[in-house]
Structure 1
């Protein structure tokens, strides 16, 4: 089937192109929204700027195809994209579980909220890609290049990251517990508030990395390069540290491997001599009132109604409180309200605005302890809740209130404020 025939059939209303032989076809800029390409052969095809949103890609072969700037948002299926070029493509909210993306170029691609579980991404290039809230659990990223990638709230449980390059990647609040990251390049990455409990970081490069408030309990840091890293308020209880390089690292307020709080002497920063000769508990305690360490405890009881969404009954928190003003669906690029009739899309914009404010303050969603959701119509609750749930783990989600009001600013459908402790 050639380009003209396919486009004529699509224009006539046909969407079923299952098993079609389309190798080498030129469909640059074509609008193929909702097309069914089940088991179709598109090897070497040209699909730059094409619209394939909500397409069925199950079993489709895009090996060596070019899809620069293509729209695959909402597409689904375990397609073969090996050696393809999807740089700048939009794959947001797509479901590509078990797909083959080995040696694929995904530089500057939008993969936010994308389902990529059990995907083969060996030696893939994802420089500056947006992977926020993507699900990469049990995926193989061996040798992948994720330099500068946005990976906040990405799911990496069971993922393989051996020899991956995560330099300057943004992994704020991400769960990396028990992963094997030995030898991985995490130089200048942002791992603030990340869960790195029991993680193998032996011989890893974390030079200049931000590990503020990260949990590194029982982590393996043997011979790791931590020069110029920020460990402020991090928890290193029972971490293995033989041969680590901590030149100029900042451990201010950190819990050290022996369980004691570290405070620098004068304006000195971390050194092997200082860390090996810990201050006594009495000295550390005398300095604690000068700073506030953030802690949080989830409260649950069967003597009160159980939560019916991604929130908890209560949270006890200590630290510096941050009160974020109510946010509505204003897109700064347009300086106007967006998606006036779509409450789910408005909620996504609201959450993006809240996240921008939290990030500016050095906080993440993990620091939020209370939210209030204001709805114009309580019938929209389920749609709002579905979006809201993407940002919070039900086990650690903040307390929440949801109310219906007669009117909201600029007649938006939803407004959300929050309180964080940092």
Structure 2
């Protein structure tokens, strides 16, 4: 959809634009409050002086987009993909951001998160500058490897947050709850941790040089190998802490209401270390949870590809990111008809490698099932 068509239809009173493709647009100076764009593709967009107050933006894919002076007051951005993006003077006041992903975004500057709902938000490797996260419930957020020039976490709930290897120099944690938080190998030089709750927090290998721990009971914390405020390494038993870039396995399951459950899998997809594996989809229409195109290979293929599109979008990917598909068919004589639909979903010349397998039977007696692998 072109941006002008969206704006014209919005001005005429239309609000429901769920699932539209607006990728690559540049849009400036419009108020789209109360719009429903749930599950839409908004990758590589540029938004300037825009208003999305009270908008439904759940599961939207905003990857690699730019936001400058944009208002999301009370908007629903639950599970939105905002990775590798750029944010300046964005107002998220009162927004629903649970499970939103800002990971690897280039910059987060002067944004307002007042009263936002922010459990399990992913800020992995985000560049953050002079940001206020005070008095927020940030339980289980991921701040690992962030590069920050002062963050204010005053009086916030940071229970079970991950700050591993983060640069948090001069940041403010005064009166914050840091229960079970992980600061392993984090840089906390000159940080203010006064009167914070430190039960079961890990400062293993962290740099606490000149940090203010006044009235914080760090005896309840794990501090082996940490550089303490006086510059001395806490090393009571000659314990040595060394860890290079970890080779850990990062796993994230993907499930969306915009596609049916896979007939053979507990989840629709899984991301493992940057690779997305999508379970086999059949031609179930998610709106009615039933097959509406029995014994018709072209329509079944179209429904399967639409289901896969919804799952890819929920994972922050698209068909250009797909590197392999596996197609299971009852009758290989229908390959040409199947391919006439299948190929429409890929940009010209960008078909992934593919394996097509003949089988005697598929779930619910459908004629086709497709799975795929993509990069994210």
Q: Compute the TM-score of the two structures, normalised by the length of structure 2.
A: 0.62
Q: Which moved more, 1:104-113 or 1:247-256?
A: 247-256
- Listed as ranges, the gaps of 5+ residues in structure 1 are 1-9, 27-44, 264-283, 295-318, 336-344, 351-422
Instruction: Name the counterpart of 1:312.
Output: none
Kindly indicate whether residue 69 of structure 2 is the aligned counterpart of residue 98 of structure 1: yes
Instruction: Name the counterpart of 2:10.
Output: 22
- Higher relative contact order structure (alpha carbons within 8 Å, sequence separation ≥ 6): 2
For residues 189 and 349 of structure 1, do their structure 2 counterparts lie closer, same or farther at Cα, with a shift above 3 Å needed? Answer: farther
Contact 1:177–1:197 (8 Å) recurs in 2: yes
In 2, distance between residues paired with 1:330 and 1:243? 45
Offset, 1:334: 7.7
Instruction: Name the counterpart of 1:118.
Output: 89
Q: Which has the higher strand share?
A: 2
2:36 to 52, 56, 66: 66
Kindly indicate whether residue 138 of structure 2 is the aligned counterpart of residue 138 of structure 1: no
For residues 320 and 16 of structure 1, do their structure 2 counterparts lie closer, same or farther at Cα, with a shift above 3 Å needed? Answer: closer
Contact 1:148–1:168 (8 Å) recurs in 2: yes
In 2, distance between residues paired with 1:233 and 1:347? 41
- Listed as ranges, the gaps of 5+ residues in structure 2 are 250-272, 281-317, 324-376
For residues 214 and 103 of structure 1, do their structure 2 counterparts lie closer, same or farther at Cα, with a shift above 3 Å needed? Answer: same
Superposition pairs of residues 228-267 of structure 1, within 5 angstroms:
228-246=200-218, 248-263=220-235
1:156 to 125, 128, 132: 128
For residues 247 and 74 of structure 1, do their structure 2 counterparts lie closer, same or farther at Cα, with a shift above 3 Å needed? Answer: same
CA RMSD of aligned residues (A): 3.3
Deviation by residue 1:180-210 (Cα, 9 ceiling, x = unmatched)? 2211221100000111111111101111100
Superposition pairs of residues 81-230 of structure 1, within 5 angstroms:
81-134=52-105, 135-230=107-202
Contact 1:138–1:156 (8 Å) recurs in 2: no
In 2, distance between residues paired with 1:136 and 1:177? 11
Offset, 1:178: 2.2
Offset, 1:24: 6.6
Q: Compute the TM-score of the two structures, normalised by the length of structure 1.
A: 0.56
Offset, 1:348: 8.7
Contact 2:84–2:102 (8 Å) recurs in 1: yes
Q: How many residue pairs were aligned?
A: 263
Offset, 1:19: 6.4
In 2, distance between residues paired with 1:211 and 1:155? 17
Offset, 1:60: 1.9
Contact 1:191–1:212 (8 Å) recurs in 2: yes
For residues 214 and 321 of structure 1, do their structure 2 counterparts lie closer, same or farther at Cα, with a shift above 3 Å needed? Answer: closer
Offset, 1:321: 9.1
Instruction: Name the counterpart of 1:75.
Output: 45
Instruction: Name the counterpart of 1:379.
Output: none
In 2, distance between residues paired with 1:107 and 1:69? 11
SS at match of 1:20: helix
In 2, distance between residues paired with 1:237 and 1:64? 48
SS at match of 1:98: strand
In 1, distance between residues paired with 2:245 and 2:41? 42
Contact 1:144–1:163 (8 Å) recurs in 2: no
In 2, distance between residues paired with 1:243 and 1:224? 8
Deviation by residue 1:299-331 (Cα, 9 ceiling, x = unmatched)? xxxxxxxxxxxxxxxxxxxx699799xxx9965
In 1, distance between residues paired with 2:181 and 2:61? 29
Offset, 1:63: 0.7
Superposition pairs of residues 272-287 of structure 1, within 5 angstroms:
284=236, 287=237
Contact 1:329–1:346 (8 Å) recurs in 2: no
For residues 229 and 92 of structure 1, do their structure 2 counterparts lie closer, same or farther at Cα, with a shift above 3 Å needed? Answer: same
